[in-house]
Structure formats: C-alpha cells, structure tokens
Amino acid sequence: MFHWLEKHPFFFAVAVFVTIAFAGLIEILPNFAQQSRPVIGTAPYSTLELAGRHVYIKNSCNACHSQLIRPFKSETDRYGHYSLSGEYAYDRPFLWGSKRTGPDLMRVGNYRTTDWHENHMKNPAAVVPGSIMPAYTWMFTNKADIDTAFAEQLTIAQFFSVPYNKPVPMKDGSTKIVKMGGSVAEANALALAEAKIIAADMKDQDVKDAVANGEIPEIVAIIAYMNSLK
C-alpha cells in the first residue's frame, strides 16, 4: 500500500491529510469535550433566571459588564475565583463581554443581594456615588417574558441535553434539581413561585403587588439571574 501511495502523489497527499487530521482530532477533541463539561456546582438556569438573562441581553448589560474573571490576583481579589470554561456550559450565548465600563458580574450573586440590586437599578448613583450607570426604571414596570424563557428551556433540554428535572452535583456534595415545567402554565407557576421569594426581599410596593397578582416584573427576573451568578 505504501509503495502504491508513493507512486500516486495526490492520494499520498490525501493520506497525509487524513493521518494528521485523525491525530489532531484524537489529541484535541477529548480534552475539548472534557473542558466544556459543566464543573461541579454549575446548574442550569431556572425559568425565571433564564427570563432574567433575556432581560440582561435585551438591555445590553454585556456592553458594559463582562462575565469573565481572568486569573490575575487583582481580579480574583475583587471578583472571586477566576472563571473556568465549564462554568459557561449552560450559557447560550455566553456573555463574556469585551469591555468593562462597569465591574465584572461573573460572581455578582456572591457579594450583592436582592435589596441592593433593587436600590441600584432604581438609582445607581444613590448607592454608588459617581456611578455613570443609567437607572433602569422601566424594569420595575415591564413584565418578564416567561413563555419565551420556557420555550428556550424546552429547546435546550431537548437538543443539548441540559439536565432539567435531574440531579446536578453541587460543591458541598449535595445535589440540586432545577425544575422545568411540563406545560406553559406549569412553567409560569414555577417562575411565579420563585419570583415570590425574590419579591419578599424587595421594598418596592408596586413590584410586590404585581407579584402577588401573578405578574412578574422584569426587575424580579433580572435579580433572580444576578443572584444565580456565583
């Protein structure tokens, strides 16, 4: 066979290509697949968190805020452990961002809480003197789109095998089950149950009333998303 290949330059070139490509694939693919597995402690987004993620994207938060902590001491001091690729396993699309006009938000859920986000979104300069971030007052009245979030959940659960309704390992050794509704009504009910927990920690009476009436303002969804970033 090698003699035959030596006499046929074209097929020789093809054979060389196939050999090197094969070697490359078995070198690269397993490592790549391993690195992109979710790390322990990374759970899929719940319906409300996903709706909040859509709010985040809709308002272009990623234009000013990154979600990627680089392995530098100065960054890990401020934001927490540097990012690992597996932590983005359920991010579609990822929101790494490319510019930090504001701080990184990769682990904002570790060091900011619901009431702080509420104060901050209403009037950023009131809690952060000199902040140039605009107020996002419309989030307090706009309603979050739970149906779209549920549609996305269904899609990613089916096509990317995102483990909804299945135990996911957590860092402390326990497991967590992120629920996904079986129907639109069920998904809305799940999101509302989650929203009630958030709203209980909020001060804005209009938001509390809206949630009590079964509506979910965008601010509740985006706070749920922020709190999930850990």
Side-chain half-sphere exposure of 186, counting CA atoms within 13 A: 8
31 lines the binding site for other proteins (CB under 8 A) = no
For residues 144 and 54, give the distance between their C-alpha atoms in angstroms, rounded to a whole number.
9
- Find the binder of other proteins among 5, 39, 41, 76 (CB under 8 A): 76
> Cβ 79 to other proteins, closest distance in Å?
9
The tokens for 222 are: 């985006």
* CB-based contact 147:184 (threshold 8 Å): yes
- The gap from C-alpha 159 to its chain's centroid, in whole angstroms, comes to 17
85 lines the binding site for other proteins (CB under 8 A) = no
* CB-based contact 114:198 (threshold 8 Å): yes
127 lines the binding site for other proteins (CB under 8 A) = yes
71 lines the binding site for other proteins (CB under 8 A) = yes
Task: Restricting to residues 144-203, name those near other proteins by CB under 8 A.
Answer: 201, 203
101 lines the binding site for other proteins (CB under 8 A) = no
How many residues bind other proteins, per CB under 8 A?
Answer: 21
Q: Give the number of other Cβ atoms within 10 Å of residue 91's Cβ.
A: 13
- Find the binder of other proteins among 3, 33, 73, 158 (CB under 8 A): 73
- Find the binder of other proteins among 11, 22, 111, 138 (CB under 8 A): 111
Q: How far apart are the first and last CA of the chain?
A: 57
State the residues that interact with other proteins by CB under 8 A.
Answer: 71-73, 76-77, 80, 82, 110-116, 119, 126-129, 201, 203
